[in-house]
Structure 1
């Protein structure tokens, strides 16, 4: 004969065992939830910033052309404050110092033609005169588009593109250019007093059939709302999973069936205070 066996004796150990994994699963899950919510909020803020940027650039692009900033203001020029301003300037092209930068446009692959414009005050501004296809790379094939003497240029102020393009570095010593890096081009062409920006010429600034101006692409990807909804959706899915996994047990109650002792093994099946002594079978 042995001591009575009661289910209550096992409950503390079972509850403690269940609590331990719940704790180390809950903490990282809650941390992940907080991170997902933070990412969603960040994308909402990024979307507001992007919409403000698009609105600001649209106003600059369609505004009347204004003279380029004075030389004294050049060090203060920034992408946020000045890029895509519609500007005007005049001077004389130095065609013998032009630089071809590889480009891909809606018209196919080819080159941007960057030519220094010498102004009356002695300063130089690189002008992206436009696009030429590969077969017109040689300047002799587009002499009609290379005006002599004083010219008036309108276009969009652009910020220098240092180092190179995507996965491709500029190689000045071999005259291979993948980005419009003003400082590097100026050094390679031995240009002095060069503005730290360049100007994308409007289509109306070009006198001949080539280069083709006015091809500046003003487009800003704005997928931040989709990203925000994705992060928020993942956060709420995780919250739902946490509620099901860890919250369901708080409302769940065990049900016990009270059985009347009516057989030789009934006492072994019964639970509760009236279970009596369990008799081992002989």
Structure 2
């Protein structure tokens, strides 16, 4: 009579666990790697915040010379405090749509525009200056004529490189002079300004006749949730390890029984 009892499953069972174990180990390594990468990003972000904080409170320096324009970088030059002299060309003013939240500096909030005006310099190429915020109903320069200052002025502010494109911000429409993102090359081309510097200067909160535009609205804010993300990845790695340990322990108990 044939023996119908099942063969011992020890070796085959262990082989059956090999691939799931390898997949779990690879997933664990990936999760730990992502957590470590977020900690590295946090260290980089902390260093960036320290550099920016030091720059915005430093004494103003002259603008970089044209020979240095091509070498400007965000890490080395963004938010440098600068001073520049020149005469505003109000006839080529451009407006960049924006919304100022309740946490924005200054008393004016809500929808409006950032007024970008070419500053014509005797000792260098023109530079676009973000003079500050005006509400929707003060879009027309005639409604803020006192702020259209004439003659040579000195502007102190922060050097800003072009804003990076985002899925959440509409593209600029230079043909209609409808701007939603600070891009000095596009703005300069739209207003017919040749040879402009490849950056802007965000004017500080120095008083302006009539009170508009309202300067000093540069947001010095960098999301820094990397520690939270790192703990999330490490937590998932720990949970995966716990699940695998529980499955192995349960299997051993079944085999022992």
TM-score (norm 2): 0.91
Report how far residue 18 of structure 1 moved.
Answer: 2.3
Runs of at least 4 residues off by over 2 Å: 9-12, 14-21, 161-167, 205-208, 246-255
| Aligned counterpart, 1:65 | 60
| Aligned counterpart, 1:197 | 199
- Does the 8 Å contact 2:169/2:181 carry over to 1? no
**Partner secondary structure for residue 178 of structure 2:** coil
> Which of 15, 19, 27 lines up with 2:14 in the alignment?
19
**Partner secondary structure for residue 46 of structure 2:** helix
Report how far residue 164 of structure 1 moved.
Answer: 7.0
| Aligned counterpart, 2:6 | 10
The CA deviation string for residues 144-195 of structure 1, in whole angstroms up to 9 with x for no partner, is: 0010000010001001126677241111111111111111111111112211
Cα 1:188–1:162 change in 2 (3 A) is farther
TM-score (norm 1): 0.83
- 1:71-90 aligned at under 5 Å gives the runs 71-90=66-85
Corresponding pairs, count: 250
| Aligned counterpart, 1:243 | 245
Report how far residue 119 of structure 1 moved.
Answer: 0.7
Structure 1 unaligned segments of length 5 or more: list them. 256-282
Question: Distance between the aligned counterparts of 2:22 and 2:166, measured in 1?
Answer: 45
The CA deviation string for residues 186-239 of structure 1, in whole angstroms up to 9 with x for no partner, is: 111111221100000001163331000001110111100010011001101111
Cα 1:253–1:179 change in 2 (3 A) is closer
Cα 1:75–1:254 change in 2 (3 A) is closer
> Which of 114, 117, 120 lines up with 1:118 in the alignment?
120
RMSD of aligned residue pairs (Cα, Å): 2.0
Q: Which structure's CA Rg is the greater one?
A: 1
Structure 2 unaligned segments of length 5 or more: list them. 102-108
| Aligned counterpart, 1:272 | none
| Aligned counterpart, 2:151 | 149
The CA deviation string for residues 97-144 of structure 1, in whole angstroms up to 9 with x for no partner, is: 010000111311100000000011251000000000000000111110
Question: Distance between the aligned counterparts of 1:69 and 1:196, measured in 2?
Answer: 11
